[in-house]
């Protein structure tokens, strides 16, 4: 696996005289962009996929192949992990992991278990929600739950969880959230700085203003998020969190965590949705509040 100077990612897997080569054009992403790269294969369907996820924006891109995909054997993985013969991972690689199933792409932002989500009948644990449950939204109304998306990922680096301790932002309970989890905030300062009352801030941009604490989650953690019929923030333990929205081409053949849903069911972001602040914008807003 190598990233070329033109921004094209190449993955080549060789087994005997069989060679499988896939590539992705990532030239639109900046050189410093943290990226999660996934190579998956299914011998039964004779398919292979390469995918890349931008760990700052959540954007995903992928490519598939049906030309006799070459699997990676456990011995080969062990040679990579334990640097047999010579190191195989450069210093730019912060995490290398593998699983026994095809790993879906994207939509990894969310909240750890036991977070209390406001519903029509009061707060419920996020992991117990079922499709059709009416969820309390930012507008003051209720929106049906289309799907509860569960993600299991390494709790390390850019995929690690951020701990939000009560009573920060009026939290009623301490929450562990993924770094790209977007939290809605409002105030006179947001209107003054950005010309709108409501904006969303990624948890990784809030982290510098929080006390340094360790997430209670283990090395591998589960996080949950919602797909609602309406793209509106929902209430969780006193704060408002943005649900998942469509951010990939639904015609891509590669599997995503929303592949089991009809694309029509997944809401898209539109022009009047709350603006998601960039890092420097979030720092400007939070510096005035907490420093």
Domain limits, the chain? 2-82, 111-288
The reported pLDDT for the residue numbered 123 is: 96
pLDDT of residue 14: 77
The per-residue pLDDT for 56 is 86
The pLDDT, as a whole number, for residue 95 is 78
* Phi/psi of residue 79, nearest 5 degrees: -65, -35
For tokens 């690690």, what's the residue?
160
**The domain 111-288 belongs to what CATH superfamily?**
Hedgehog/Intein (Hint) domain (2.170.16.10)
Model pLDDT, residue 79: 76
pTM: 0.85
Helix (H, G, I), strand (E, B) or coil at 60: strand
Query: ω into residue 156 within 30 of 0, thus cis?
Result: no
Task: Please report the pLDDT score of residue 216 as a whole number.
Answer: 64
Provide the pLDDT for residue 215: 62
What does the alpha-carbon distance between residue 37 and residue 88 come to, in Å, rounded to a whole number? 16
Mean pLDDT, consecutive 10-residue stretches, the chain (291 aa), reads: 84 78 87 86 82 88 78 74 72 79 89 96 96 95 96 87 85 92 90 89 88 70 95 94 88 85 87 86 86 60
Give pLDDT, residue 112.
95
Residues 266-269: contacts with CB under 8 Å, at least 24 apart? 266/146, 266/227, 267/227, 267/228, 267/229, 267/230, 267/231, 267/243, 268/231, 269/231, 269/245
The Cα–Cα gap between 154 and 202 comes to: 19
Separation between Cα atoms, residue 232 and residue 267, nearest integer Å: 10
Strand bridging mode 175-178 / 122-125: unpaired
Residues 6 or more apart from 64 whose CB is under 8 A from it? 47, 48, 49, 252, 253, 254
The predicted pLDDT at position 237 comes to: 94
Q: Considering just the CA atoms, what is the radius of gyration of the chain in Å?
A: 20
CA distance 105 to 36: 9
Q: Give the closest residue to 223 by CA, choosing from 198, 247, 241, 205.
A: 241
Cα distance between residue 88 and residue 90, in whole Å: 7
């Amino acid at each position: 696996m190598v990233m070329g100077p033109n921004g094209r990612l190449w993955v080549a897997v060789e087994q005997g005289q069989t060679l499988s080569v896939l590539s992705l054009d990532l030239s639109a992403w900046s050189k410093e962009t943290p990226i999660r790269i996934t190579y998956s294969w299914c011998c039964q369907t004779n398919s292979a996929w390469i995918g890349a996820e931008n760990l700052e924006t959540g954007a995903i891109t992928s490519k598939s192949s049906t030309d006799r995909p070459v699997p990676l054997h456990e011995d080969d993985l062990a040679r990579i992990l334990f640097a047999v013969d010579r190191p195989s991972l450069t210093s730019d690689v912060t995490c290398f992991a593998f699983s026994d199933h095809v790993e879906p792409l994207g939509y990894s932002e969310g909240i750890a278990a036991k977070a209390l989500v406001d519903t029509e009948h009061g707060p419920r644990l996020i992991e117990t929600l079922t499709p059709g449950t009416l969820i309390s939204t930012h507008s003051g109304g209720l929106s049906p739950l289309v799907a509860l998306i569960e993600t299991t990922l390494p709790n390390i680096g850019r995929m690690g969880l951020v701990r939000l301790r009560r009573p920060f932002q009026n939290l009623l309970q301490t929450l562990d959230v993924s770094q790209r989890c977007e939290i809605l905030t409002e105030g006179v300062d947001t209107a003054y700085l950005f010309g709108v009352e409501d904006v969303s801030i990624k948890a990784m941009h809030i982290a510098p203003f929080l006390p340094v604490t360790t997430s209670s989650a283990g090395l591998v953690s589960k996080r949950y998020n919602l797909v609602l019929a309406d793209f509106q923030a929902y209430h969780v333990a006193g704060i408002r969190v943005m649900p998942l929205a469509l951010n990939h081409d639904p015609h891509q053949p590669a599997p995503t965590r929303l592949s089991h849903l009809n694309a029509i069911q997944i809401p898209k972001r539109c022009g009047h949705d709350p603006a998601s602040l960039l890092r420097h914008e979030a720092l400007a807003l939070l510096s005035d509040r907490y420093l």
